[in-house]
Chain A
Amino acid sequence: MKKITKLIFLFFLITLFRPISSNASNNEINVYLFYGRECPLCLELKDVLDEIKEDYPNLKVHKYEVWYNAENRNYMNEAATILDTKVTGVPFTVIGTKVFNGYSSFARKGELKHTIEIYSKVASYKDPVGEMLGVVKNSGTLTYEDIVKASDDGESHIFEVPLAGPVAAKDLSLPIISILIGAIDGFNPCAMWVLFFLISVLIGMKDRKKMWILGSTFILTSAIIYLLFMLLWLNVITFVGSLKWFKILIALIALIGGTLNVRSFIKSKDTGCTVVDETKRKSIFTKIKKITTEKKLSLSIIGIIVLAVTVNFIEVSCSAGLPVIFMSILSMNDLSVLEYSFYMFLYILFFLIDDLIIFIIAMVTLKLTGISNKYAKYSHLIGGILMIIIGILLIFKPEWLTFNF
């Protein structure tokens, strides 16, 4: 019997790491890239297209240099007229009826890939520029918008939400994910004890103005540190995000982090505060006392900022990968810079919401109110389960995590 169980376990391991199937279909997708020879963004876009070609072998890139070649320039202008748009600069890229004017690596790569994914869903599509260039003969009739509308899980996935009216899937799922993961991450008590101690010292100070300034500086700095960490992670994802081994790495972080979280919930018999190592505690206490008793407000503020930076580096490492997973989900969706910023702001707002509530109540009532640690415990459980689910989805059904397919 033992041999069979080993074989099953081995088989499970192998299937767990089978490459995530890319859903490229066999229809040919033509991309028309109008570029300038020395244009740096054009070079970058060419690299990105080559990278995407790995996942989509049926992708054909047709390049037209327009700075030195007048004929190509005419083609570009004609393409713009056909598609009823204006050329704002190079690179000027066309796929079917979808136009990309210029290129910013930050968000467009997701959009490009997503457009190719959309066109991969149909056998043929309307390609007026291809016809004009003689690349294709009588192409299909479906425009980009048609395909998105027709595809059962496309942007046309509209929910009827009371009061808010019709809301597209993307507009509903990502905010909920941001709030959910942000709030769960926020309940992580790793650095909470420092805030509590700071507030208890601030309350003792009896100088209201200084209390508000130092307390809000601490919370604001924490938000900025977390934002920087998320941006750092987003940049990593932008470069290696589409590589398969990276997706599996994120899935592993999610699965391991999730298991650790669930385990810590099961193992924690008593609901209480975890006592941080004494030397670390003492060093932070002396820092806080020194900062708050500092005569010059400006020096106090600098001291608080430095304290918040050090403390939040502890927090970032101890939050078991939730922000990493969140950023990975964001990057799988086709978002503009504005949307990225909005969801990250939402995440951080709910990440800090418990700190904000505690701080404001303390400042108003001059009393420190505690939140039971059972919520932190359950956040480990819920966060853990959520991470395990996301980990499994990242491996088996990554497309479920893109909400505007």
Chain B
Amino acid sequence: MSLWTMVIKMATGLERTCAIFFLTVLFSLPLGMIVALLRMSKNKVVSGVTRFVISVLRGTPLMLQLLAVTYGPYYLFGLTVSKNKLIPVVIAFSINYAAYFAEIYRGGIESIAKGQYEAAEVLGYSKTQTFIRIILPQVIKRIMPSVTNEVVTLVKDTSMAFTVSYQEMFTIGKEIANSQTSFMPFIVAGVFYFVFNAIVDFAMGKVEKKLNYYQ
């Protein structure tokens, strides 16, 4: 197999890699906010349970969570395994990343000075208005570097989808490596991930710059 055929074949899996990536970003960012708010709830039970769930999600391998989401329902309840693996993969990724984002959000929210809340309160803003109009925009700016970090990790983590036989780029690379007894597909995969991440880095850098209108 020529290098070019190899690249073309693996590029067909890139579409699926992108699907995992973009859908996970789309779902985990808002889900993380919900988790963060539950985690900061004044209700001790709610915050305690959320804290436990976060620690499980962060304390167990993502690969295990992928297996649990994909095959767990079959082993536990005898349900069918999804033919379209994108669904369990995106669910597992979104939940896992939401746990990480939740902790980032929480750190960001807790870093905002009390005076901001008090100023908004005296001016008559409601709790919701205060959060959405005053606090959140400042939080987003502060957490951008950490979010970028996670997003870059996500690009590389998409390769883990091979563990549930979702044929994204890395799985195809592994298949080619096997049939050709060649190490080349792994190098190609490495280049793909590097370029993907360079683009992500560039885009996130643009966003960070845009948020730099104040210090």
Q: Do A and B come from one complex?
A: no
